[in-house]
Amino acid sequence: MKNIIFIAPPAAGKGTQAAMLKEKHNMSHISVGELLRREVSSNSEIGNSIKGLMKEGLLVDDKIAFKLLEQRLMKDDLANGYILDGFPRNLDQAIEYDKMVKRLNLSIDYVIYFNISREEAMKRITGRISCPSCGAVYNEYLDTFDKPGFCNKCFAKLRKRSDDNETTFNHRFDTYMKRTQPVIDYYQQKGILHVVEASGSREDTFSKIESIIGGEEK
């Protein structure tokens, strides 16, 4: 069993890589954001409190996030390991997560940081367009189209999200790096941090991750 943490700035592709690992190795993919959204959908007492915080534009308390995460880690589908996607996001969370892992008799085997240049990440974000009909996602700078501006699969007109712009991206990227650098340093000091250059294709990035968890880092 190999337990992995993915840390990555916006548009580095960690969600895609987590899905690829899950499919190939039957690992569990755990996203704290998804755990929170599911709890809200359940209309539980905790879910309703989360919904209230979100409506007021407030952050969800770490205690709630850790409670849901601990419940998830106690399920019996982790035999092949798990990928923890995008968490912890700050140093306090990293320290608390260490305590939880020890309490549950689990391990942190690899922390993989996706290194991507600001320029490449911005190209991925600002070029992102999607199909409102079938859900396909493209990049206007990187993909080719049978008919420019239209989906290759169902031929519907493609749309761009209003927040996929340089101003929003720069704010997200800078905020992420400021909050996350202490986490990167923390795991590096523990000797379990691995850096993957993620500016290439998804297949290239996946090959590098496979080399790391297989024992040989390229």
What residues act catalytically? 14, 89, 128, 161, 172
Phi–psi pair at 131, nearest 5 degrees: -95, 120
Cα–Cα dist 120/135, whole Å: 23
Which structure tokens are listed for 131?
């199909």
| Ranges of H-type helices in 104-146 | 118-126
The answer to whether the peptide bond before residue 9 is cis (omega within 30 degrees of 0) is no
The answer to whether residues 83 and 16 touch, using CB atoms and an 8 Å cutoff, is: no
